[in-house]
Amino acid sequence: MEADELKQIWQAYDKKIEEARILNLQSWVLNFRAFESIQMQKAKSKLGALLTVKWIAVILGIAWVAFLVYLIYHSLSYANIFFVASASIVAIITSIAIVVYIRHIVILYHINNCESITETQKKLASLQLSTLWIVRILLLQMPFYTTFFYTPYMIMHEGLRFWLISLPVTLLFGALAVWLYKNINFKNEDKKWFKLLFNSIEWTSITKAKQFIKEIEDFKNDRQ
Amino acid sequence: MAYPDKAGFLKLIQENKGIIFKICNAYCYSPGHREDLAQEIIYQLWKSGQNFNPDFKFSTWMYRVALNVAISFYRKEKRSGDVISLSTHTAEIEMKEDDTNEHETNILLLQQFINELKPLDRALMILYLESKSYGEIAEILGITETNVATKINRIKNNLKQKFSTIKE
């Protein structure tokens, strides 16, 4: 078979598609004429779903931070110092994640499908990949969920119960959070614990994005 | 060329609908999803009109947008597990082999072989089969012309080999 034959088959394909009416183009081009439907199409847009998820995350995040700020404001006293400090740190870490998500939204709105395919696809995949960074940041909150109920009274009067149970638990969570922050990256993707944590369906998009970025690089550098 | 108004845009879509058809078929096996993808492509083409660079040919720009949308759509569908497996597609081909001529079987085989390629290789082959120049393909994909030539040669040989194996 010659190369020209491939092209001839491809050209015949045009006619076949037309005859088979695989896509009902005519009907939705007519729909498109009723231009009001454009907003509906936008809402239905599958690619817009990613934006929706990020907007929901931002709104929920802002609501959570607002709730924490309200609690902090109404708890400002020496007796509640640990609660105020813990809630403040959680609010700050959540705010960082919100800012990153807002940055994602801005990038998504500006993703330009007119750029070259490798360029646009790499940007989109990198965006998905950076979700992993947000997870790392959010994990840093972990130890502060074990300290919000601490009080100066507790430290002074609870004796062994505080030093042998509460504090070790906090230190354990702290160490775990720092360890996860340092180790959650794709250098460790072959490790058992990484697979255990990130092998569920929710994380597939991140691992696939990583693979796709490699595919793009190989494609650009002509590596098979 | 300036970006057309609504009527002009729809005329251009009608004129180039073959491109959209083929891209949708290459990245989507389920008829329902193909329609979704085609709508998405047209919507994005209209939306991206503000970024249309009159220095480019309309078709070059259209391929960029359509292929970008198709690849993103394909990746999303694949993640959600909505992509119909190639075996379903192949079954369709086998079923038709009995009652169609060789010509039509070749079309279905070529379609299947293209669908088996990686998403970026698929885009490359679609552009090649659409008789785009190496320069234009390089511009659409964002790679060098030499790279385009090397890849096309390799994939073409693969396709030819697959055709020969099937026909033996």
pLDDT at res. A148: 92
Cβ-contact A5, B103 below 8 angstroms? no
Over residues A196-215, mean pLDDT = 82
- Cβ within 8 Å, pair A113-B68: yes
The ipTM assigned to this model is 0.82
Residues 120-159 of A with CB under 8 A from B: 120-121, 124
Chain-centroid distance, C-alpha A217: 22
Decide if A22 and B34 are in contact by the 8 Å CB cutoff.
Answer: yes
Whether residue A64 is predicted with pLDDT greater than 70 in this model: the reply is yes
Q: How far does the CA of residue A163 sit from the closest CA of chain B (Å)?
A: 47
pLDDT at B66: 94
Residue B61 has pLDDT above 90, yes or no: no
Interval B83-109: pLDDT, tens: 444 445 444 444 444 545 777 788 888
pLDDT at A53 over 70: yes
**Contact assessment for residue B82 and residue B33, using Cβ atoms and an 8 Å cutoff:** yes
Residue B95 pLDDT: 46
State the average pLDDT for chain B: 81
pLDDT tens-digit profile of A66-78? 999 999 999 999 9
**Distance (Å, whole) CA A119 – CA B36:** 24
- Whole-angstrom distance, CA of residue A58 vs CA of residue A100: 10
Report yes or no: B122 and B115 within 8 Å, Cβ to Cβ. yes
- pLDDT at position A29: 56
pLDDT above 70 for A28: no
Residue A199's pLDDT is 74
Token couple for A78: 């020496």
Which residues lie below 8 Å from residue A207, measured CB to CB, with a gap of 6+? A189, A198
Number of Cβ within 10 Å of residue A159's Cβ equals 10
Q: Which residue does chain B place closest to A22, by CA atoms?
A: B31
Q: pLDDT value at position A25?
A: 56
Half-sphere exposure of B32 (CA within 13 A, CB side): 4
Query: Could you tell me how far CA B72 lies from the centroid of its own chain?
Result: 13
Gap between the Cα atoms of A48 and A37, Å rounded = 16
Residues in Cβ contact with B90 at an 8 Å cutoff, skipping those fewer than 6 apart: B112
Residue count (chain A): 224
**A56-65, B24-33, B75-84, B102-111, range with the lowest pLDDT:** B75-84
State the amino acid at position B125 in one-letter form.
Answer: M
Among candidates A25, A38, A219 on the partner chain, residue whose Cβ is nearest the Cβ of B17? A25
CA distances from B104 to A153, B22, B87 (A): 84, 15, 19
CA distance A128 to chain B (A): 11
Q: How far is CA A203 from CA A131, B47, B52, B142, in A?
A: 10, 30, 35, 29
pLDDT for A36 equals: 44
Greater confidence (B51 vs B152) lies with B152
- Interchain CB distance below 8 Å, B10 and A113: no
DSSP assignment string, A143-202: GGGGTTT--HHHHHH-THHIIIIIHHHHHHHHHHHHHHHHH-SGGGTTSHHHHHHH-SHH
pLDDT, tens digit, 9 for 90 and up, residues A138-185? 999 999 999 999 999 988 888 888 889 999 999 999 999 999 999 998
Identify the residue among A2, A5, A9 best suited for mutation to test binding to B, counting B beta carbons within 10 A and taking the highest.
A9
Q: How confident is the model at residue A2 (pLDDT cuts 50, 70, 90)?
A: low
| B 29-48 near A (Cβ less than 8 A) | 31, 34-36, 38-40, 42-44, 46, 48
Distance (Å) from the alpha carbon of A81 to chain B's nearest alpha carbon: 46
**In angstroms, what separates the C-alpha of A140 from chain B's closest C-alpha?**
28
Among the listed residues B58, B71, B60, the one whose alpha carbon sits nearest the alpha carbon of residue B23:
B71
- Range A100-105, long-range pairs (CB < 8 A, 24+ positions): A100/A130, A100/A133, A100/A134, A100/A137, A101/A54, A101/A57, A101/A58, A101/A61, A101/A134, A102/A58, A104/A54, A104/A130, A105/A51, A105/A54, A105/A55, A105/A58
Q: Is the pLDDT of residue A18 over 70?
A: no
pTM: 0.78
* CB–CB contact B36 A46 (8 Å): yes
Cβ contact (<8 Å) for A114 and B65? yes
